[in-house]
Amino acid sequence: MTNHSKNLPKTDVLSGIQPTGNLHLGNLFGAITNWVDLQNRYKCAFCVVDYHALTTVPDAQELKANTESIVIDLLACGIDPNRSILFVQSDVPEHLELYWIFASLTRYGELARMTQFKEKGGNRETVGLGVLNYPVLQAADILLYGASKVPVGEDQLQHLELTREILRRFNKTHGFLFEEVQALTTKVPRILDLKNPSAKMSKSHPEGAVFIDDEEGIVRKKVKKAVTDTGDDQQEMSPSIENLMGLLHACNQDQYNLMLDAYNSQNLRYGDLKVSLGNELCEYLKPIRESKNEWLQKKEEVREILFEGAKKASSIARPRVEIARKLVGLG
- 304 within 8 A of 276, measured Cβ to Cβ: no
| Residue 31 binds to ligand ATP (criterion: CB under 6 A) | yes
Select from 68, 155, 214, 280 the one that contacts ligand ATP (CB under 6 A).
155
- Residue 221 has a CB neighbour count (10 Å cut-off) of 13
- Among 10, 43, 200, 222, which one carries the catalytic annotation? 200
| Residue 50 binds to ligand ATP (criterion: CB under 6 A) | no
Torsion of CA 162, 163, 164, 169, to 10 degrees: 90
Give the nearer residue to ligand ATP in terms of CB position, either 76 or 101: 76
| Residue 202 binds to ligand ATP (criterion: CB under 6 A) | yes
Cα–Cα distance measured from residue 241 to residue 233, given in angstroms and rounded to the nearest whole number = 12
Give the nearer residue to ligand ATP in terms of CB position, either 130 or 175: 130
Select from 81, 135, 146, 153 the one that contacts ligand ATP (CB under 6 A).
153
| Residue 30 binds to ligand ATP (criterion: CB under 6 A) | yes
Residues sharing a CB contact under 8 Å with residue 264, sequence separation 6 or more, in sequence order: none
Cα–Cα distance measured from residue 320 to residue 327, given in angstroms and rounded to the nearest whole number = 11
Distances 172 to 1, 37, 129, 177, 331 between C-alpha atoms, Å: 10, 34, 27, 10, 21
222 catalytic residue (yes or no): no
120 catalytic residue (yes or no): yes
| Residue 133 binds to ligand ATP (criterion: CB under 6 A) | no
Give the nearer residue to ligand ATP in terms of CB position, either 65 or 330: 65
The stretch among 94-102, 133-141, 183-191, 286-294 that binds ligand ATP (CB under 6 A) is: 183-191
312 catalytic residue (yes or no): no
Output the smallest distance, CB 85 to ligand ATP, in A. 17
| Residue 34 binds to ligand ATP (criterion: CB under 6 A) | no
Residues sharing a CB contact under 8 Å with residue 82, sequence separation 6 or more, in sequence order: none
Select from 13, 17, 144, 273 the one that contacts ligand ATP (CB under 6 A).
17
- 156 within 8 A of 121, measured Cβ to Cβ: no
User: Left (φ > 0), alpha (ψ -120 to 50) or beta: where does 81 sit?
Assistant: alpha
| Residue 249 binds to ligand ATP (criterion: CB under 6 A) | no
Determine what percent of the chain falls in helix, strand and coil, rounding each to the nearest 5: 55, 10, 35
Residues at the contact surface with ligand ATP, assessed by CB under 6 A? 17-18, 20, 26-27, 30-31, 152-153, 155-156, 189-191, 200-204
Active-site amino acid positions: 120, 200, 203
